[in-house]
Homo-oligomer: A and B are copies of this chain.
Amino acid sequence: MDDETGDRRTARIADVAQLAGVSTATVSRALTAPGQLRAATLARVMEAVRSIGYTPNVAARSLRARRTMLVLVVVPDIANPFFADVLRGIDEELSAHGYGLLIGNLARTRKKEPQLIGIVQSGQVDGVILLNGRVPEGLDRSMSDTGTPMVAVCEAIPGANFPQVGAQNREAAIEAVAYLVALGHRRLAYVAGPKDNVLERERRAGFLQGLRAAGIDRRQASIYPGDFTFAAGETAAQTFLSSPGRPTGVFAANDEMAIGFLKSVRAAGVSVPRDVSVVGFDGIAFADYVEPTLTTFRQPRRELGRQGAALLVEALSGAATATDAPHIRLPVPLVVRDSTGPAPVG
């Protein structure tokens, strides 16, 4: 339409410098270190910037300054709503510090890990937040080799020498058992997550530890395999229904499985919590809209993301952390609702 206006070309720093009657160095300083300039000079430059509508080219700036102000967030599965809130916390903290968010979705496979290493290796980001519980690896190298600052959030990475932020999974699982036991339950079951998942391992360990603390023989308890999906909860329900001395207290490693379990046992005529009490984990929004509403542990998802991002920002700001990398473990409060109650008598 208006091709004739001539100044279609994006403004460069030299254009601003010329208009303000200063060098490009001064324009650069006005934008990145305004304190170094005389007020009058600064004002002149900023006016020129404004009138010309100048925005620095990020590629040039990154190339020269050797940083991109971008952070890579590695997500195991972007379609999992659990991470939506975590991402929000990350985004809030990062954007407050001027960093942008690059999403690396693994889509539940490891095939994409080399690609993510490439993103880091090619200097596209200043740091990495891992939500996937492992350091991405390629054919011949690990993301650790790039020397880029990293933090792990949600899923801890055992043995990693960088900061981590997770939940008190084991403690919560112990509490789950103690809570059910306090209600009189002695025949307990655990609906497990995928075996290689660190959250599953911690929650299972807590479940077993809780049994021990209550003096319940492990062989009296059932463990139903699962994978964090609704379907796994429904499968566990079938096993539950066909077992002779049914458990009366069930702790599921996440809410989806608890909800799948709830639906299936009730469809079979089992009353919750009269016949069986069910406890979930995560505290997803829907836990309060199933029937009966689900007793669960509310993970501080947003806070997990925020604190993880804060640790990364700290690392990026070059605060030489001589101390060991922190491993923050946030508490996970129990939210009692209607899916749990006293154990049936007899």
| Chain A contacts to B: CB under 8 angstroms | 10, 53, 55-60, 62-63, 68, 70, 78-81, 83-85, 87-88, 91-92, 95, 100-103, 105, 107, 112, 115, 118-119, 121-124, 140-141, 230, 259-260, 263, 266, 285-286, 288-291, 302
Residue among A87, A107, A141 with most chain B CB within 10 A: A87
| Identity of the chain B residue whose Cβ is nearest the Cβ of A79 in the assembled complex | B88
Q: Separation in Å of the A320 CB from the closest CB of chain B?
A: 16
- The 10 A-B pairs with the shortest beta carbon distances in the complex, nearest first, are A81-B81, A59-B62, A59-B63, A55-B121, A291-B291, A58-B122, A79-B88, A286-B286, A58-B124, A55-B122
Q: Separation in Å of the A149 CB from the closest CB of chain B?
A: 15
CB of B290 within 8 A of CB of A230, answer no
- Kindly list 12 other residue pairs between chains A and B, CB separation below 8 angstroms, not including A55-B118, A60-B63: A10-B123, A57-B122, A59-B62, A59-B63, A80-B84, A81-B84, A95-B115, A100-B119, A100-B124, A259-B289, A266-B291, A290-B291
CB of B63 within 8 A of CB of A57, answer yes
CB of B84 within 8 A of CB of A78, answer yes
CB of B88 within 8 A of CB of A84, answer no
Q: Separation in Å of the A338 CB from the closest CB of chain B?
A: 11
CA distance in complex: A53, B63 (Å): 20
CB of A140 within 8 A of CB of B88, answer no
Q: Separation in Å of the A144 CB from the closest CB of chain B?
A: 12
Report B-chain residues with C-beta under 8 Å of the C-beta of A119. Answer: 100
Report B-chain residues with C-beta under 8 Å of the C-beta of A263. Answer: 289, 291
Q: Separation in Å of the A114 CB from the closest CB of chain B?
A: 11
What is the count of identical protomers in the complex?
Answer: 2
CB of A103 within 8 A of CB of B101, answer yes
| Identity of the chain B residue whose Cβ is nearest the Cβ of A60 in the assembled complex | B63
Q: Separation in Å of the A231 CB from the closest CB of chain B?
A: 11
Partner of A87, one of B78, B100, B285: B78
Residue among A57, A84, A88, A266 with most chain B CB within 10 A: A84
| Identity of the chain B residue whose Cβ is nearest the Cβ of A72 in the assembled complex | B100
Report B-chain residues with C-beta under 8 Å of the C-beta of A118. Answer: 55
Q: Separation in Å of the A133 CB from the closest CB of chain B?
A: 19
Known: A101-B103, A263-B289. A123 touches B230 (CB 8 A): no
Report B-chain residues with C-beta under 8 Å of the C-beta of A122. Answer: 55-58
Report B-chain residues with C-beta under 8 Å of the C-beta of A55. Answer: 118, 121-122
Report B-chain residues with C-beta under 8 Å of the C-beta of A57. Answer: 63, 122-123
Q: Separation in Å of the A235 CB from the closest CB of chain B?
A: 15
Report B-chain residues with C-beta under 8 Å of the C-beta of A259. Answer: 286, 289
Residue among A53, A79, A83, A105 with most chain B CB within 10 A: A79
Report B-chain residues with C-beta under 8 Å of the C-beta of A124. Answer: 58-59, 100
CB of A123 within 8 A of CB of B58, answer yes
Report B-chain residues with C-beta under 8 Å of the C-beta of A84. Answer: 78-81, 83-84
CA distance in complex: A68, B285 (Å): 38
CB of B103 within 8 A of CB of A285, answer no
CA distance in complex: A241, B91 (Å): 41
CB of B88 within 8 A of CB of A105, answer yes
